[in-house]
Structure 1
């Protein structure tokens, strides 16, 4: 019994320690990185310029004229007055969504598997994921898209169990709209999402979801 409690304490301590260190690293690198590295400084010039002058310094041959990561850019307008023109002021919305990704994955895994231990482990792996960890301290909206896409899958699992629930249908539509305000990369998510529905439908025929969610 003592060994079991010790293992549980060590496991929980490792989980919280990993999350705590990851949060510190996110803030550290967000403050350390110069603003010209990502959209932080570049899109500030875009959103702070009159509409007719917004495209003067953009190269239409090299890229489209328009903000690719709109939500992270305009959310930063809320944090800049409090934190100033620095890495934290520009990248705080992305850091927050990076931490929300950890929370939504925890909730998603716990909903699907019913295991709190597995859910905690999944949350830690999300923060340790190099791709997500990197973009959680850059002013780009990939982590925001990850959050909304996971919410969409969570709605789908709820709808599998209760197809007539109007709230989940409404949330699913809102999430799709929010995904497209986050980044133009959301168009990729649409195809992946539709493909996943077919995979889940076929899997549900051979392995009914109720066995895993109830």
Structure 2
């Protein structure tokens, strides 16, 4: 088997194993969150269409809810693999690059959640792949992206700057018009009172990449910029990064709007790192070896915590600080309610909407609350590792 064939086999084997584990995780460990329930039952968006189409074909269950986003992850990884063909000198380097992309906290976690981040990642990689393969810009894709999500305004702005470099008037006018229209119709999602949120933004980016990898990302963007190694992917990533930083000086930004455009620069980061590593003699590579070990170690921990995170409740004094708290307990609660023949509930609207996904109806037979009240009839406690983490109180009304 050639080196290319060997690493291709490793890649596809690992990818299918990882997708299989993601499906198991969706089925066994996660419950629908309130925001996800809104997308299923209330909102009218691309996420609503995608989730309800999947539920229509595969039934109202957690696999059907999350399967489309796992598939977007699968095809995003495939696209990144195709994009990096002939990008690295050695096939081993290509394999390492795609492995890092697959293990990125922001990419891996987005594949399990009902949000637009992994969709935007896929679409952006599709655009870059088309450009790299055909050396032309797909204006049809840009129009389709306009319909899909507001965050593509970032891509349009990046293409505007890229068109200035390439002296491409058609792309310049097209991207500028789409950017203006996108800002006029959608705007950018921001939150909070006008004040500085730069530290929050940097912290979230460090979580999406891992801290050391994010610092190296900044260095790579700077180095490529001053050395004029400015590819299309570089323009997209640097535009997203700088725009999010600028906005965060005055408003809280939703990083999921920006992160998909930043993570596509993983191949550039690895190529820069490997070049710096290999031009040095062995005795001067120690710092690079340490960096590599730390990055791989952090990414490995991310994979572990993505799939096995419930034990963290044992260590946290406040369970609500768990990073997936909002995706736990409801499935277990619905099973407990069904075992007690409790249905037709009224009470907390957010809780009721989440329970609706698991077949618990809204009605006037019982009242349910997450807050204690003096005359409740039943108390249901959800425990992980013998620790009480989620409690509801129920009163029979009829």
**Range class of TM-score, shorter chain:** 0.5 to 0.7
Show structure 2 runs of 5+ residues with no match.
Answer: 168-223, 232-398
Identify the residue that residue 122 of structure 1 maps to in structure 2: 97
Which of 16, 23, 27 in structure 2 is aligned with 1:20?
16
* 1:156 Cα deviation from its structure 2 partner: 2.7
Structure 2 counterparts to residues 30-179 of structure 1, below 5 A = 30-31=26-27, 32-36=29-33, 38-39=35-36, 41-47=37-43, 70-110=45-85, 112-113=87-88, 116-158=91-133, 160=135, 168-169=136-137, 172-179=138-145
- For the residue of structure 1 that corresponds to 2:85, the secondary structure is helix
* 1:116 Cα deviation from its structure 2 partner: 4.9
Deviations 1:28-66 (A, max 9, x none): 332332112542x1112225xxxxxxxxxxxxxxxxxxx
Say if 2:110 and 2:117, in contact at 8 Å, map to a contact too. yes
Identify the residue that residue 153 of structure 2 maps to in structure 1: 187
Bigger relative contact order, structure 1 or 2, given CA contacts below 8 A and separation 6+?
Answer: 1
Say if 2:40 and 2:51, in contact at 8 Å, map to a contact too. no
Say if 1:94 and 1:139, in contact at 8 Å, map to a contact too. yes
Deviations 1:157-187 (A, max 9, x none): 3454xxxxxxx54xx1222233233322221
* 1:108 Cα deviation from its structure 2 partner: 0.8
Say if 2:77 and 2:102, in contact at 8 Å, map to a contact too. yes
Give the whole-Å Cα distance in 2 for the aligned partners of 1:127 and 1:99.
Answer: 9
Identify the residue that residue 163 of structure 1 maps to in structure 2: none
Greater Rg by CA: 2
Deviations 1:4-33 (A, max 9, x none): x79989856654453234213321332332
Deviations 1:120-177 (A, max 9, x none): 43332222111010011111121111111122222333454xxxxxxx54xx122223
Larger mean Cα displacement after TM superposition, 114-123 or 82-91 = 114-123
Going by fraction, where is helix more abundant, 1 or 2? Answer: 1
When the two chains are superposed, the root-mean-square deviation of aligned CA atoms in Å is 3.7
Going by fraction, where is strand more abundant, 1 or 2? Answer: 2
TM-score, normalization by structure 2:
0.37
* 1:197 Cα deviation from its structure 2 partner: 5.1
Give the whole-Å Cα distance in 2 for the aligned partners of 1:30 and 1:191.
Answer: 35
- For the residue of structure 2 that corresponds to 1:175, the secondary structure is helix
- For the residue of structure 2 that corresponds to 1:137, the secondary structure is coil
Say if 2:54 and 2:65, in contact at 8 Å, map to a contact too. yes
Give the whole-Å Cα distance in 2 for the aligned partners of 1:29 and 1:196.
Answer: 40
Aligned residues: 173
* 1:80 Cα deviation from its structure 2 partner: 0.8
Give the whole-Å Cα distance in 2 for the aligned partners of 1:24 and 1:151.
Answer: 23
- For the residue of structure 2 that corresponds to 1:138, the secondary structure is coil
Larger mean Cα displacement after TM superposition, 10-19 or 96-105 = 10-19
Show structure 1 runs of 5+ residues with no match.
Answer: 48-66, 161-167, 210-214
Larger mean Cα displacement after TM superposition, 142-151 or 108-117 = 108-117
